[in-house]
Amino acid sequence: MNDSLITNWSHRWPLERVLFAMAGTVTLLSITLAAVVSPWFLVLTAVVGVSQWLYVLVGACPASLIIGSVFGVRTGCAVERPQ
């Protein structure tokens, strides 16, 4: 994968925004899989919820640690305000 693409992407989106997008995607995917394949995929939804609460309470979750160290995405303001 192109390193400049990863570098440019990591500077545009702060960690909070990346985590929010990833959590929403995994939640929708797990609900779809639960409806089509097996209700056991709802466990994945619970894991996403627990990870979100870990981030809220502790300031880190497994996904934030991996994304921060592998891709270099840093925390910041999740919503850009117009000037």
pLDDT digits (tens, 9 = 90+) for 26-67: 999 999 999 999 999 999 999 999 999 998 899 888 888 888
pLDDT recorded at residue 64: 85
Q: Give a yes or no: residue 78 inside a domain.
A: no
Q: For residues 44 and 58, give the distance between their C-alpha atoms in angstroms, rounded to a whole number.
A: 21
Q: Give a yes or no: residue 61 inside a domain.
A: yes
Query: How many domains does one find in the chain?
Result: 1
Q: Give a yes or no: residue 63 inside a domain.
A: yes
Rg from Cα positions in the chain: 15
Q: Give a yes or no: residue 82 inside a domain.
A: no
Q: Give a yes or no: residue 81 inside a domain.
A: no
How big is the CA angle at 21 (ends 63 and 44), to the nearest 5 degrees? Answer: 60
Q: Give a yes or no: residue 45 inside a domain.
A: yes
pLDDT recorded at residue 1: 52
pLDDT digits (tens, 9 = 90+) for 5-31: 555 554 578 888 999 999 999 999 999
Q: Give a yes or no: residue 77 inside a domain.
A: no
Q: Give a yes or no: residue 79 inside a domain.
A: no
pLDDT recorded at residue 11: 55
